[in-house]
Amino acid sequence: LEYQGQTLTLGFFAYPMFDPQGKVCGVVEHLRDVGNRRLREEDLRRAHANVSTLVSSISAILVAINEEDRVDHWNMAAEDALGLTAARVLGKSFPDLALEWEWDRVLDAARRCRDKRESVSLDSVRYQQAGGGEGLLGMTFNPVLRQRKKKSGLLILAKDITASKAEEARASFEQRMQSIGQLAAGVAHEINTPVQYVNYNMGFLEQAFGDLLEAARLSAVLAEQGDEGDPGIEGGAAGK
């Protein structure tokens, strides 16, 4: 409707009128300017579309669970990592999803998040990757509180940390090997020091015992020579 140079969006409403016997006796009609409401609805739709685009572009896995434990949102990263499309999981019971991961740890974290109404994190959750291999997830559970709802919803954020954990393990292994090498070098040094001391003293003892053995040999020779000379001496004494 054009009015004073402006385009108005009007809503037409009609309500029946009843007489004392309950029969329809007339109709009440009125028009209402719904332009502002329509604009607000369009703004809301655009905002919702922007949020959906933003959420879908997040590289991390994002899953929204409502108060009834049903999946409200499942982004593209979740599809790629977990191998289930949004069409298969939206509206389904979260604990009943065909996911191969550590369900006991996941459900326990979800329960603690709801009970305490605070974020709960999990590290190194084993799961079956979409390609068939085994991977590790880092997960964070956040409560979504809504008015007049005793039970909170959940917003689950997760990221594949398989590669980073492998790198950490490799770095840790190299560090341990370096520590073992340093320890072995220290032990070898401690062993080598007394060995060198013993070797030095063995050389000294070998030389000293060589001299003693030579002296003992000469003493034995002299003693033998002395024994051989005794009969002559005694014979000379008897002739006199």
Percent of residues, the chain, with pLDDT higher than 70: 62
User: Which residue's structure tokens are 């593209």?
Assistant: 76
For residue 119, the SS3 value is: coil
50 token code pair: 């922007």
In sequence order, which residues have a C-beta less than 8 Å from that of residue 126 and are 6 or more positions away?
101, 102, 134, 135, 136, 137
For residue 4, the SS3 value is: coil
Which of 62-71, 169-178, 191-200, 204-213 has the highest average model confidence (pLDDT)?
62-71
**Average pLDDT rounded to a whole number, residues 230-235:** 47
Please list, residue by residue across 186-217, b when 16 or more beta carbons sit within 10 angstroms of its beta carbon and e when fewer do. Answer: eeeeeeeeeeeeeeeeeeeeeeeeeeeeeeee
How many Å is the maximal CA-CA distance in the chain?
A: 187
pLDDT at 16: 79
Q: Which residue has the higher pLDDT, 143 or 45?
A: 143
Strands 24-33 and 61-65, sheet pairing: unpaired
| Cα angle value 63/45/4 (rounded, 5°) | 170
Which of 6-20, 95-109, 121-135 has the highest average model confidence (pLDDT)?
95-109
Please list, residue by residue across 85-99, b when 16 or more beta carbons sit within 10 angstroms of its beta carbon and e when fewer do. Answer: eeeebeeeebeebeb
Cα–Cα distances in angstroms (integers) from residue 165 to residues 3, 133, 169, 226, in the given order: 68, 15, 6, 89
* Mean model confidence pLDDT for the chain: 78
Q: Which amino acid is at 171?
A: A
pLDDT at 235: 46
pLDDT tens profile 3-55:
666 676 766 667 777 777 878 787 777 666 666 666 666 766 776 666 666 66
**Average pLDDT rounded to a whole number, residues 139-148:** 85
pLDDT tens profile 185-197:
666 666 656 656 5
Distance of CA 191 to the CA centre of its chain: 42
**Average pLDDT rounded to a whole number, residues 162-169:** 79
pLDDT at 240: 40
The answer on pLDDT for 239 being more than 50 is no
Statement: the pTM of the whole predicted model exceeds 0.75: no
pLDDT tens profile 74-88:
998 999 999 999 999
Q: Which amino acid is at 82?
A: L
The CB density around residue 129, as the number of other CB atoms within 10 Å, is: 17
**Average pLDDT rounded to a whole number, residues 165-182:** 74
Helices (H), 90-161: 103-116
pLDDT at 201: 65
Please state, in angstroms and rounded to a whole number, the distance separating the CA atoms of residues 235 and 225. 17
The answer on pLDDT for 171 being more than 60 is yes
pLDDT at 35: 63
